[in-house]
Chains A and B, each alone.
Chain A
Amino acid sequence: MENLVDVKGLKVAVRPKKGVEIPIVKSVDFSLKKGEVLALIGESGSGKTTIALSLMGYARQGCHIVGGSIRVGEHDILSMSSGKLLKVRGRTISYIAQSAAAAFNPARTIMDQVIESALIHKTSSRHQAEKKAVKLFHELALPDPEHIGERYPHQVSGGQLQRLMAAMALITDPDLVILDEPTTALDVTTQIEVLNAFKKVVRERNTTAIYVSHDLAVVAQMADRIIVLKDGEVQENSTTQEILIAPKHEYTASLLKAMRHDRPSRDWNTEKRLGEKKDTPLLEVKHLEVEFVKGIPVLHDIDLKIERGQTIGVIGESGSGKTTFARSIVGLNSRSKGDIFLDGEPLSDTLDGRTKEQLRRIQYVFQNADTALNPKLTIGAILARPLAFYHGMKGQQVEERVAELLSLVQLPVSISDRRPTELSGGQKQRINLARALAAEPDVILCDEVTSALDTVVGAAILELMSDLRKTLNLSYLFISHDIRTVQSICDEVVVLYSGAKVEQAAGASFSLAGGERLPRHPYTDLLINSVPEMRQGWLETAHQSCSSLPIIDATPADESLCRFLSRCSKRINGTCNQTEPSKLSMANGQHILCHLEYADISGANENVVNHASAKPALESYQ
């Protein structure tokens, strides 16, 4: 078959106003047959999105395509005038952006935007285009396909927007579709549905596609061929099967290894605790409830204990209340019910009500170091601030301590004169951590600290945190949406769903790689099953096990009912939609909030030590 796309010697560079050109894509060649799905994979800065965009003759602000040739069908993209390019974009080649939430115009209806390219390129009348869009909505398994187009982007979920964007890309029946990290911003449980919808339309329409991603496991589900990129150069170009089973290039092998790595080399969990176990836990949360709007709790009766030197993980999808939980511990959100104790002493609801000493002992590391660090201050000044505030340090003392802190997070002392914008993402996250360490805290709350980083950089941060825990006897509350990270470093993991703690179990038990699986809360099961595995065909089997829900009667609106009811594949009519779920405690220390008999979840019954009936309310299992 003839190639649809031929790229030869493509070079893209950043051309600053002054100084020399910085190449970001260095002479890339590849080609693509009709009906093939090609993946571009690499870490951030590898040039994968830049290459994908240059296929449309487009370079982002500051970038310039400086050499090579690109042929798509009969079009020689790089020799076309900007007027001619407009005719190709959205017609011959269409694009699915990473964040659908940002790529949809908030002020226009979804239908207007979905059919816009059909109207621009006059491929069909408005009426025909709308009919076709509805058909695509059906194919993409969108809810209410007849009317979803009348809504505005803020009225549908992120996963739905991503599928709507696929409809937008396919409305003109383009020869080539570019998917730029289309599921990266989604929760794993949503990702699996979106991937499945994509895969179905791509197969059915025999679409030629380029799939850009950093996630080999996702790519393995979608692509026929994979190109591995690093620093703007092609490392390897082979079929998906070859890459997964027998990678030729060293870098590919290291990527595979980093991603297959279920547990880091240093085992966090089995390390011997340094501190002596006392009777009172370091931090204890009892029956915590938080409301932003009166009467609607976003966190629902949450209990948690953190011992000295322990790492507790919190996982859940976006909106499950992970960050709110951490913010109310640290005092940034006030609570409507419940108590928090630090070393047995009750902590006030607000920041103002806490002593400086209490503030010092609980520190928070924010998700995004870019926004958490003041860009106008030098690193030295950023770190000096908590030293002066908590410890009253001055002058020479501060300098010495800043140097110590920097060496603690494995950065050179010379960095203290620089500003956050001059540092890499990983370095900024280290400073973010050092800022928390400056207070000499007992417990650090880490909110998605590795989510914005590449796998390899993130792994280094985790390694550092593990070392610090040992040397400083720190405790961590580690928030993440990524089950792989959490299970590898946490002693215990709490699963939040829609503000309720549905399960708590030992971190090691969440391991994805083989072994015997514990009985789980149905949501935890779904979460674990939704993490893509690095093998072809995973998507098909996984999706089967997640679909088809038992039919139940209409559910009364009651805050106390199981929150997972509407998505649970194991729900029981007459029980789950009638009574409050109960808290089960197992002999192995696992806690589950569910109606199901343990036997129903696992097929084995002998571990149950305490299973009280749903109502009256149980005693806390703490």
Chain B
Amino acid sequence: MNSTIARLIVNRLGIGVLTLFIVSIVVFTITSLLPGDAAQEMLGQSATPETLAALRAEFGLDQPVYIRYIDWLGGLLSGDPGTSLVNGMPIMELIGGRLPASLKLAAAATLVSVPVALFIGIFSAMYRGSAFDRYSNMFAVFSVSVPEFLIATIAVLIFAVNLGWLSALSHISEDASFSEMVRAYAMPVLTLCCVLVAQMARMTRAAVIDQLSSPYVEMAMLKGASSIRIVLLHALPNAIGPIANAVALSLSYLLGGVIIVESIFNYPGIATLMLNSVTTRDMPLVQACAMLFCFGYLILVLFADICEIVSNPRLRK
């Protein structure tokens, strides 16, 4: 570590904070523009203007937008995103109840998909044009183009209904054993991996092929290096930057984008929470979820950036 790297990382962090700030404005503005509000939603069509106004005053909905924004942002910064307008529970508690489950699913999907994707990407780059390369390419195109609800439904049909190996619902108790966890996660993770692996493997393949055509790889071949050595010691160190970025972009999907998987397997994750809050016009919850997804995304991108900076000797020394 040295001053250049420190400066670059501080720079990225600064940009991240700025992005979050801009996103907060956008999220708040857009949610304020949505038609209808929680008061209307709760009281229904028959509510009198008086009761509506009273409820709005209670929720603070009668304040000017910028004041509500400042209150809300202040709350976020002090770790209190407010209370749900629908059931009056603190949002921290609502999210806190769902986030660990979402993170567990994301972690499981990451642990499976990243090594598989890297393996497929690197090997199809090494043996470009081989049968392995062609089949993995076919798999990638197939799994990206088939909608995930179809993959999930077929998986349920085969493994839960026909074979009866797994439960169709992924609900696990606190004290589940390892094998119970594996059984519960198998199908959601499989479905998510189909999408993730394809994207990451394709990007990894492209990044490694790019390096394999460089003159220093030819030089390594002429030094008598084996193809494994060439890929691991020569091509990969230079491909880390682009690979890390591809991985980060794919994984960012695991926070907010897993709504279909969560609903099919009835998995209590945060994407379902957000969807529900949109239907009930529970704006504070929508806003908090949006900010959380954005935060997660920025963390991933920051991580990829740091990988890229640290793997580049021009920046390291």
Contacts and interface: CB of A to CB of B under 8 A. Distances in A.
Interface stretch (B36-44, B171-179, B214-222): B214-222
B238 interface: yes
A621 B225 CA distance: 60
B215 A89 contact: no
Given A106-B238, A152-B314, A154-B314, A120 B219 contact: no
A97 B219 contact: yes
**Looking at A58, A108, A151, A155, which has the most chain B CB atoms within 10 Å of its CB?**
A108
A152 B221 contact: no
A89 B222 contact: yes
A116 B220 contact: yes
B215 A97 contact: yes
Interface in A82-106: 86-91, 94-95, 97, 99, 102-106
Given A104-B216, A107-B237, A108-B233, A91 B313 contact: no
Contacts of A105: 216, 220, 234, 237-238
Given A99-B215, A106-B238, A56 B311 contact: no
Nearest to B317: A152
Contact of B222 (A58, A106, A108): A58
B234 to A, nearest CB: 5
A152 B223 CA distance: 19
30 contacts: A53-B222, A56-B222, A58-B221, A58-B222, A89-B223, A89-B224, A90-B222, A90-B225, A94-B222, A95-B219, A95-B222, A97-B218, A99-B215, A103-B218, A104-B219, A105-B216, A105-B220, A105-B234, A106-B314, A107-B237, A107-B312, A108-B234, A116-B220, A120-B224, A120-B226, A152-B313, A152-B317, A154-B314, A155-B317, A168-B223
B233 to A, nearest CB: 7
**Looking at A53, A99, A107, A121, which has the most chain B CB atoms within 10 Å of its CB?**
A107
Nearest to B213: A61
Q: Which 6 A-B pairs have the closest CB atoms?
A: A90-B223, A90-B224, A107-B237, A102-B215, A89-B224, A152-B313
Interface string B200-216: 00000000000000111
A65 B189 CA distance: 49
A53 B215 CA distance: 14
Given A95-B219, A103-B215, A108 B237 contact: yes
Contacts of B237: 105, 107-108
A86 B218 CA distance: 13
Nearest to B312: A107
A576 B258 CA distance: 71
Contacts of B311: 107
Contacts of B218: 60, 97, 103
**Looking at B220, B234, B311, which has the most chain A CB atoms within 10 Å of its CB?**
B220
Given A99-B215, A107-B238, A108-B237, A116 B225 contact: yes
Interface residues of B, number: 22
A322 to B, nearest CB: 25
Nearest to A102: B215
B229 interface: yes
A517 to B, nearest CB: 40
Nearest to B222: A95
**Looking at B214, B216, B218, B233, which has the most chain A CB atoms within 10 Å of its CB?**
B216
Interface string A473-513: 00000000000000000000000000000000000000000
Contacts of B220: 105, 116
Nearest to B240: A107
Contacts of A120: 223-226, 229
A252 interface: no
Contacts of B229: 120
A81 to B, nearest CB: 13
A121 B224 CA distance: 8
Nearest to B237: A107
Given A105-B216, A107-B238, A155-B317, A87 B224 contact: yes
A35 to B, nearest CB: 22
- Contact residues on A (Cβ < 8 Å of other chain), bracket: 20 to 34
Contacts of B215: 97, 99, 102-103
A102 B238 CA distance: 13
A619 to B, nearest CB: 44
A116 B229 CA distance: 11
Contacts of A154: 313-314
B147 to A, nearest CB: 36
A144 to B, nearest CB: 15
Nearest to A116: B223
Interface string A531-572: 000000000000000000000000000000000000000000
A164 to B, nearest CB: 12
A147 B2 CA distance: 20
Interface string B226-248: 10010001100110000000000
Contacts of B234: 105, 108
B310 to A, nearest CB: 11
Nearest to A97: B219
A117 B223 CA distance: 6
A258 B16 CA distance: 61
A239 B116 CA distance: 59
Contacts of B223: 89-90, 94-95, 116-117, 120, 168
B216 A102 contact: yes
Given A89-B224, A108-B313, 5 more contacts: A90-B223, A90-B224, A95-B219, A108-B237, A121-B224
Contacts of A90: 222-225
Nearest to A98: B215
B313 A107 contact: yes
Contacts of B226: 86, 120
A89 B317 CA distance: 32
Nearest to A85: B224
A86 B216 contact: no
A458 B226 CA distance: 41
Nearest to A152: B313
B243 to A, nearest CB: 13
Interface in B105-150: none
Contacts of A106: 216, 238, 313-314
Contacts of A56: 222
A169 B239 CA distance: 26
Nearest to A58: B222
Nearest to A112: B233
A83 B310 CA distance: 35
Contacts of A91: 224
Interface string A432-458: 000000000000000000000000000
A58 B218 CA distance: 10
A155 B313 CA distance: 10
A565 to B, nearest CB: 28
A117 B224 contact: yes
Contact of A88 (B216, B224, B238): B224
Contacts of B221: 58, 89
B292 to A, nearest CB: 36
A104 B223 CA distance: 12
B239 to A, nearest CB: 9
A105 B313 CA distance: 11
Contacts of B216: 102-106
Contacts of B222: 53, 56, 58, 89-90, 94-95, 97
